[in-house]
Each structure stands twice: as structure tokens, then as C-alpha cells.
A and B are shown apart, each in its own frame.
Chain A
Amino acid sequence: MFTTMRKALPLIPLAALLAGCGSTGGPGQLTVGVAFETLQTEYWVASRNAIEAELKKHNARMLEAIADGDANRQFEQIRNFITRRVDGIIVVPKDAQTIIPMIREANKANIPIVLFNRPPAESDAVSVAVVADNYSIARDTVDYLAREAAKTGRKHKAAILIGDLGDINSIGRRDGFEDAIKPHAKWIDVVARIPTEWNQEKALAGLTNALQANPDIDFLFSSSDLLLPSVASALKTAGKYKKRGEPGHVLLGTFDGDATAWRMLQEGYVDAVGVQDLYFDTAETVRAVLDWRAGKQPPARIVDKGFVIHAGNMAELAPRMWGANIAK
């Protein structure tokens, strides 16, 4: 039996370690529960770090939980935050519908709840959503590319990599692309609309097929920087991975503003990036929590207009691009 007891001994320091991790913040310090759906992309990791830094600025402590893509786990995590009587909740919801019962739980407990980057579906539940204007950022990015195309004086064949059509952000980006193309229809003919479901393998296969069917595609919009490695790979296979100014260069626009997009913009493979203003988003998110807690109800939706970065304004806007700061 003593052998068994000796085997159990390693659990004791582990339990002690666990217990030590549960210390609370100092007196008067606010605690905000931050629940992300996932941390699987650079954007979410950068957002998490920016929120943590912003909370620190306001002397607030972050209590974090990651649902790893599971809406039920997110539901349980939000309820745990409520149990802890946090002063506010910031959540990146799994999707627009499953977040509704969670908002209701927070409403019942009278805890401010702010949704980051994804808005909720319409309901009677009260929340604040800080969201990028996906439609207008995508539209402005594609408009810039279209004007660049017009300058060449020749007709272009275009393709778009679409995200997940169950994701409202993805739909906004697609619609922005389509509406930006309309006034330039005489210069641009959209020959491929490639669904990717935010999956790099699907993006690679879809774009490779499109480039085989239309080898003269020379205008491309990727709905997320996440798909850029697939884009680069497909263009290389097709012999079309050329820098700005080189013959055969494909006009390439993308969305998000991560470090890969920044590097490819600097190198000349990417022409324009629609950037979500992460620092605006995180500052507004934390401000909304604090205002709500102080009794000032923020608007239900706070919109990030974002910006378009391209070769012409790169030096000026780089400090506002989160991917450029990560790449430093």
C-alpha cells in the first residue's frame, strides 16, 4: 500500500500548484471574464493579448477561458464567470445564435456582456457588440484593386476566396467584394467564386482548380489572411506568384491585416489589405464593459470602420496594422 501511496505523491504538488493559481486580484481591482471561441489563428491570439493589455491599463484583471470551438463549453465557461461574480464579460461567440442563452444568463445576473468581433442574432437579450464593418472594409479594399486594374487599361479576370457562408463576417466580405466590382464591370469579369469554409486545404484545392480552368486569372481577393499560404502555393504552382511590377503579377487583395499579409505587402506580392483596427476594437470593447458597469449603457453596436493599407500608404499606416506590429 505504501508503494501505491508513493505513486500518489506526485499528485499532491500538482494539486497545490492548481490551488495556488486561483488567487484573486487586489482590493478594488475589477475582474473581467474573457471567453474566446478559439485561439487557433494569429488574429485571435493578437486580440486576446491586446484585450489583456487594455484591461491592465485600466487596472482590471483578466480571467480567461477558451471554448476550443465548442459552444456548449462556452456556455459552461460563461456560467462559471457569472458564478465568480466577474465585473464584466467579453466574449468571442462561437456563432450568432448559441450566444443568445449566454447573454440572457449574464443579463439575469446583471453583468455587462460585450461581444467581440461577432454580433449576436436578433433577440431580446441585451449586449454590446464591437464589430468590424466587414462589408465596407472589403468593398474599399476591392475598390482600390479595381482602380489599379483600370490603370492598366486592359480587362482582368477575377476570383474570390469566400469564407464560411454560415459566418456573418464572411458574408459581409463577399458582399463588399461583389458591390465593389459592379462599377468596374467593364474592366473586371468575375470568373470564380471559391468556397473555403475558412479551410486552407479547401482554399488551395479550389484556387488550383480555378487557375487550371482560367489560367488568365489576374485579380484575386482572399476573404482572410488565414488563406494566404494557400493562395501563395496555388499561384506558385500556376507560375503566377510575381511581385508588383513584374510581368504576370496577379493583383491580390486580402482581409484582416496579419503578419503574413504585412510581409507579403512589403515584398510586393499583396497589393492591398483590408485591416480590422484591432487596437480600436479592443479599446472600445474594454471601454464598453467599464461604461456599462458604471451605469452608462453603451450602444448595442460599435462599428470599426477599419482601413485599407497598400503600397502608397504603407509607411503611414503600418503602426496601426496589428500584423505589422507582431512582425517587428
Chain B
Amino acid sequence: MRVFARVLFSEYFVLWLCLACFALLAPAVPGLASPRNLSNMFSNMLPLAVAAIGQTAVLIGGGIDLSVTSAIAMASTCGALAMTRGGEPGSAAAGIAVMLAAGLAIGLVNGVSVARLAMPPFMVTLTSMMFFSGLAIWLTRSRNIHNLPASFLALGSGAWPVVITLAAAAGAHLALSRTWHGRRLYAVGMNARTARVSGVPVARVLTLAYLFSGLCAAVASILYTARLETGSPLMGQRILLDVIAAAVIGGTSLFGGRGKVPWTLGGVVFVTLIDNAVNLMGLAFFMVLTVKGVVILGAALLDRARVNYAGR
């Protein structure tokens, strides 16, 4: 019973939940535990993990970034355009630089609007999502861009996605847990006014969080674009729920001040596992959405009940 209680109240509860789900589903879902499927699941979770890490930083600061999908689309479009001048493959380095710049630019717009102009994060990032999604479609006239350079496409397979994701996760984890800036972000998320009175440069801290989210979205876009070998104005359009769900299920608070990169990685594993399992089952489309929604809601409720109980 003591072991059960330790698991239930562990801060890595979501990872235990993943293990329990996996153990329960593996015997019944054909192929779930096969090495090839595990490898698929692992590679599927990498771009999502990068985007969710950026979202975690913003959530810890008490905000939310709904524009992460449009940042992915804009980075994909701008980068692909930069790499295919005249329809021929061009410089991968230039394309990557443009993609990162596009993500940072969107992060800067969000950060300045939220932190300096004191606008509500929900409204700012919702508006950014609409504006930049529209801009990406306008830039390409709804067309996909292909013929990307081989050196860029190589980033979508093999060891590169693993290296890039691990670097992003380790960097973010160290920045949040071992630096002054990380501690300031938690302070701002818990209570911005108190943090300001205590001398924390709240506006700068928040702007940096949104910049980081934009940068992570651009990195996720690099991975998505390279593996599909196509720049698309619709890239990542449907993953917003997964990005936010991964962070929140992991334990990051929607009200700020609480969250960790390893928790989010646990949430990413959970979301990817459920997605993979319902897909392998061959459930009807409507059932997939329903089951996925119910399981994610159930996991979030369980986490809430657990945290409430621990706080008594």
C-alpha cells in the first residue's frame, strides 16, 4: 500500500500512468509492444515534445500560447520558400535560419503584446494564430512547397530528431531549474505583482518565455517539415490540443507557477501512447476522438484529484 501511495503522489505520476496503460493495453492491442511500434511512437513524440516544452515555459509564467500551430505553419512556409528559390533546392542553413527567425518573430509579437501592452495572453495568441495562419496561406496561395534540399530532409529522420529534442529538453530543463531566469519565471507565474515588488523584471521574463515558445515551435516545424519533405501552410494545424494537453496532463498548471520539463515529457508520452493505441485498434474515427478525449480528461481529473488530496 505504501508503494501505491508513493506512486500515486509521485510528481512523475503521469509516467506511472503511462506504464499502467501500456501494461494494460499491450496484450490486447496487436503490435503495440513491438520494437518497430515503440520506435514509431518514439519518433512521433519528438516534434510534439519540442512544441510542448515551449508551451510549458509560457504556462509556468501564467500565460498560454495558442499561436504555436501558426508559428509551426509560418516557419514551415517561410523556411521552405527560402530553401527553394526558383523551384530548385537551395541552402538548408538559410532555410533553418529563416524558420527560427519566423518562430522568434511570432514569439516576440506575443511577448511584447502580453508583457509590455498588458493584453490578455488568450486574446493575443488567439489573434496571432488567426493572423499568422492566414499569412502562411497567403504567402503560398494554399500550395505546398517541395523540392527541399537533401541536407535539410536528413533532419527529419535518423538520429537528428532525437539529438535536437534532447538538446531542447535538456536546455529548457536546466534553464528553468538551475538559472535565475527560471526561478523568476516561476515567481511571475505564481504572483506577478509580488514578483514585481520583489524586483523581478516581469515584462522581460514573460517576453523571454513567449520568445522561447516561438523558438520551440520553429524547431518542431523543422522536424515536421523535414519528415514530410514539404513546406506547408497547414503544417501542425491540428496539434494544438495535443501540445497543451501534454503539458497539462504532465502536471503543469494552467494558472502558472507550477511545471517541469520532465513532467511535460511524461505528458507527451501519455498523449502519444493513447493516440498510437487507438490508431492500432482501428477504431472508427468518431470513436477515436471520443475515446481520446475521455482518456485525456480522465487523466487530467485523476491528476487534479491526486493534487487536491495531497494538499489536504
A associates with B: yes
Nearest CB in chain B: distance from A235 CB, A: 27
Contact between chains at A84 and B239 (CB < 8 Å): no
Interface positions of B from 260 to 294, Cβ below 8 Å from A: 275-285, 288, 291, 294
Interface residues in B, total, Cβ within 8 A: 55
Is residue A83 contacting chain B, with contact meaning CB distance below 8 A? yes
Residues in chain A near residue B29, CB distance under 8 A: 18-19, 22
Kindly specify which of A72-80, A226-234, A267-275 makes contact with the partner chain.
Answer: A72-80
Question: A95 CA to B237 CA in the complex, in Å?
Answer: 15
Q: Does any Cβ of A come within 8 Å of B305's Cβ?
A: yes
A98 CB contact (under 8 Å) in B24, B228, B283? B228
B146 at interface by CB-CB < 8 Å? yes
Contact indicator B282/A62 (Cβ below 8 Å): yes
Check A18/B25 contact, CB under 8 A, given A71-B232, A80-B40, A98-B144.
yes
B24–A15 touching, CB < 8 Å: yes
Give B91 Cβ to nearest chain A Cβ, in Å.
21
Q: CB within 8 A of B24: which of A10, A19, A79? A: A19
Check: A210 CB closer than 8 A to any chain B CB: no
Q: Which residues in A have their C-beta under 8 angstroms from that of B36?
A: 82-83
Residues of B within 8 A of A11 (CB): 295, 298, 302
B171 within 8 A of A: no
Segment among A1-9, A138-146, A256-264, A296-304 that sits at the interface with chain B: A1-9
Interface size on A, residues (CB 8 A): 50
Residue of chain A at shortest CB distance from B298 = A11
Contact residue among B141, B232, B283 (Cβ-Cβ distance under 8 Å from A165): B141
Partner of A22, one of B30, B236, B239: B30
| A84 interface neighbour in B28, B30, B298, Cβ under 8 Å | B30
B238 within 8 A of A: yes
C-alpha gap A18/B22 in the complex (Å): 12
Report the separation of the CA atoms of residues A76 and B41 in the bound assembly, to the nearest whole angstrom.
9
Which of B143, B146, B238 is A69 in contact with, Cβ under 8 Å? B238
Q: Is A70 an interface residue (CB 8 A)?
A: yes
A residues less than 8 Å from B280 (CB atoms): 22, 80, 83-84
Cβ of A154 to closest chain B Cβ, rounded Å:
37
Q: Are A76 and B27 neighbours in the complex by a CB distance under 8 Å? A: no
A39 CB-CB contact with B under 8 Å: yes
Bound together, the chains give a CA A72 to CA B224 distance in angstroms of: 7
Q: Whole-angstrom distance between the alpha carbons of A165 and B15 in the complex?
A: 46
Contacts of B237 in A (CB 8 A): 69-70
When the two chains form the complex, which single residue of B25, B238, B295 contacts A73, counting CB atoms closer than 8 Å? B238
A24 beta carbon closer than 8 Å to chain B: yes
Question: Are B282 and A63 touching (Cβ within 8 A)?
Answer: yes
In the complex, chain A residues whose CB is within 8 Å of the CB of B8 = 1, 4
B275 surroundings in chain A (CB, below 8 A): 76
Say yes or no: is A317 at the interface (Cβ < 8 Å to chain B): no
Q: Does B309 contact A (CB under 8 A)?
A: yes
List residues of chain B with CB within 8 A of the CB of A82: 36
Does B194 belong to the interface (CB within 8 Å)? no
Closest to B146 in A: A97
B230 within 8 Å of A (CB atoms): yes
Chain A proximity of B233: nearest CB distance (Å): 9
Kindly list the 4 A-B residue pairs having the minimum CB-CB distance in the complex, ordered from nearest: A19-B28, A63-B282, A66-B285, A22-B29
Given A18-B295, A23-B28; 9 other pairs, CB 8 A cutoff? A1-B8, A8-B305, A65-B282, A71-B232, A72-B227, A76-B275, A80-B37, A80-B279, A84-B31
B residues near A, CB below 8 A?
A: 5, 8, 21, 24-25, 27-32, 34, 36-37, 40, 44, 47, 141-144, 146, 224, 227-230, 232, 234-239, 275-285, 288, 291, 294-295, 298, 301-302, 305-306, 309
